[in-house]
């Protein structure tokens, strides 16, 4: 995997003024409304356009998954569908892309499940609970099973359809001092991506969590707006966070996954044959993404280590246990945030012997 070029981190939505980004949103919305309003037969000459917006670079598991979906969707529909992938917050930042999907300015997204509260689906934050998944296999079982289905069912009332869960492995945490014991977090400001569950576990460690868009993290770390953050190796590498942090701790304390979502009105308005072909493309792109995620992250950590710019601390079992003990009250707290139903489903899905 190659590291992102500096230019990749260049002119993104973060650089747009508020008026410019509003213009993009409105222009996209008008196109979306026009397309949604026309019968597909009337658009027969034109390929059906799918704008797929996301916030990571193209050389991450999600970026590669989006490109794979494009390739397969265009192939299986014989060119009747054209997918435009906008990576690296090039079109929209975190919150804007959710609004853009609702307005029909884009048709497909794959936000991390930590960012679903603005959609009115904070139950997705249950997947951010600390030390929830023992390993990747357990994560995959849970999202493929009743929990995943239940979560997607929650989206239906919001006019959004969930198509797939995409993996990006376990988070690490970084700062400019070693984070080994819970006391090391005391008083440090950590960027979080949106989940109140993550907010809670950082607070339990004595940290001061703060939500920032993904595209703003590098600069926030560089300028000291925040002292640290959590993310997966592929995101540390491709966003170059490792260049502006001195220490990373790997304790597998939380997991990062995405839900691929579409605007339901758009999706259900597609001719059934095309929707079937796109479903097939999505299923295969999902298998592909989930099959490369672990390796991509292993390669990323090796590259970060080889850079010599940061010290990586892999926590021992007792050290991990101390984090876990400190973060465990998050579960009780989460009942009031995500509700008992999803917690119960999760409890059933996860083999309690592993925890
Ligand atoms: C983050 O905001 O840290 C992640 O959700 C980014 C991503 O999409 O991997």
pLDDT in tens, 58-73: 999 999 999 999 999 9
d(CA 110, CA 285): 12
What pTM was computed for the model? 0.88
> Residue 231: CB within 6 Å of ligand 1?
yes
Q: In this structure, which residue's CA is closest to atom 9 in ligand 1?
A: 56
Average pLDDT score over residue span 206-212: 98
Tell me how far CA of residue 239 lies from CA of 171, 210, 296, 320, in angstroms.
14, 19, 14, 26
Q: Is the pLDDT of residue 37 over 70?
A: no
Query: Which helix (H) or strand (E) is 43 found in, with range?
Result: none
What number does the ligand 1 atom closest to the CA of 230 have? 3
Query: Which helix (H) or strand (E) is 300 found in, with range?
Result: helix 272-307
Q: Which residue has the tokens 């109140």?
A: 196
φ, ψ (nearest 5 deg) of residue 60: -125, 170
> Residue 195: CB within 6 Å of ligand 1?
no
> Residue 152: CB within 6 Å of ligand 1?
no
Average pLDDT score over residue span 145-168: 97
Q: Which residue has the tokens 């999600």?
A: 62
Looking only at the bridges linking them, the beta strands covering 172-175 and 247-250 are antiparallel
* Higher pLDDT, residue 8 or 75: 75
> Residue 297: CB within 6 Å of ligand 1?
no
pLDDT in tens, 229-267: 999 999 999 999 999 999 999 999 999 999 999 999 999
Mutate to test the pocket of ligand 1, among 55, 85, 254 (most ligand atoms within 8 A of CB): 55
């Amino acid at each position: 995997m190659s590291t992102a070029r500096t230019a990749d981190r260049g002119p993104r939505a973060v650089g747009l003024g508020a008026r410019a980004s509003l213009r993009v949103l409105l222009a996209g919305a008008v196109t979306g409304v026009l397309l949604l309003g026309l019968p597909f037969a009337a658009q027969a000459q034109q390929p059906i356009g799918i704008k797929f917006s996301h916030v990571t670079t193209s050389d991450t598991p999600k970026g590669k998954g989006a490109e794979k979906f494009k390739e397969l969707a265009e192939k299986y529909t014989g060119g009747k569908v054209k997918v435009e992938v906008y990576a690296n917050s090039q079109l929209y930042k975190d919150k804007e892309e959710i609004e853009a999907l609702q307005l029909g300015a884009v048709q497909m997204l794959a936000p991390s499940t930590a960012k679903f509260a603005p959609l009115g689906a904070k139950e997705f934050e249950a997947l951010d609970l600390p030390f929830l998944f023992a390993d990747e296999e357990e994560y995959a079982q849970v999202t493929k099973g009743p929990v995943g289905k239940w979560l997607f069912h929650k989206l239906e009332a919001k006019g959004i359809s969930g198509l797939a869960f995409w993996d990006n492995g376990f988070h690490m945490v970084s700062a400019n001092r070693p984070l080994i014991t819970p006391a090391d977090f005391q008083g440090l400001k950590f960027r979080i991506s949106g989940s109140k569950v993550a907010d809670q576990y950082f607070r339990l460690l004595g940290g001061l969590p703060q939500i920032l868009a993904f595209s703003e993290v590098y600069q926030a770390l560089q300028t000291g707006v925040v002292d640290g953050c959590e993310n997966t190796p592929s995101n540390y590498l491709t966003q170059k966070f490792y260049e502006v942090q001195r220490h990373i701790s790997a304790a597998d304390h939380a997991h990062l996954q995405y839900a691929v979502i579409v605007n339901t009105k758009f999706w259900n308005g597609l001719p059934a044959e095309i929707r079937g072909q796109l479903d097939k493309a999505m299923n295969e792109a999902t298998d592909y993404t989930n099959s490369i995620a672990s390796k991509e992250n292993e390669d990323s950590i090796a590259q970060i280590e080889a850079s010599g710019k940061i010290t990586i601390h892999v926590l021992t079992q007792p050290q991990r246990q101390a984090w876990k003990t400190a973060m465990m009250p998050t579960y009780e707290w989460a009942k009031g945030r995500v509700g008992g139903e999803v917690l119960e489903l999760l409890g059933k899905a996860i083999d309690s012997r592993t925890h």
